[in-house]
Amino acid sequence: AQSVTQLDSQVPVFEEAPVELRCNYSSSVSVYLFWYVQYPNQGLQLLLKYLSGSTLVKGINGFEAEFNKSQTSFHLRKPSVHISDTAEYFCAVNRDDKIIFGKGTRLHILP
């Protein structure tokens, strides 16, 4: 069963506009959630993580995400995107010591 679902395969957004990348997780899994970014031809970089505590998590590069248990969501947001944010973004969950990834969302910044 799919543990993480990223609802959008691609998201186009104008530079300096806000963006939200959507992620839903299976309620049966443990709630250790992550967002990773992958720039072209590079490995994975951790943007932010939710392990416990405050449901609003702040990460690097101005990104933040909110853990919503009732909606089983962990959406990623940024108030103003920059051309350098062009990348693939992966939502992920730790399940039994394995990281299970969503299929990714490609963020395309329009000039």
Partner 1 sequence: DAGVTQSPTHLIKTRGQQVTLRCSPKSGHDTVSWYQQALGQGPQFIFQYYEEEERQRGNFPDRFSGHQFPNYSSELNVNALLLGDSALYLCASSPRFGFSSYEQYFGPGTRLTVT
The residues that touch partner 1, with contacts defined as CB under 8 A, are 32, 34, 36, 42-46, 49, 51, 90, 92, 94, 96-104
Task: Find the shortest distance in angstroms from Cβ 32 to partner 1.
Answer: 4
**CB-CB contact of 46 with 97 (8 Å):** no
Cα 28 to its chain centre, rounded Å, is 19
Residue nearer to partner 1 on the CB measure, 15 or 86 = 86
Residue nearer to partner 1 on the CB measure, 43 or 111 = 43
Task: Find the shortest distance in angstroms from Cβ 29 to partner 1.
Answer: 12
Task: Find the shortest distance in angstroms from Cβ 18 to partner 1.
Answer: 25
**CB-CB contact of 105 with 11 (8 Å):** yes
Alpha-carbon distance 47 to 45, whole Å?
6
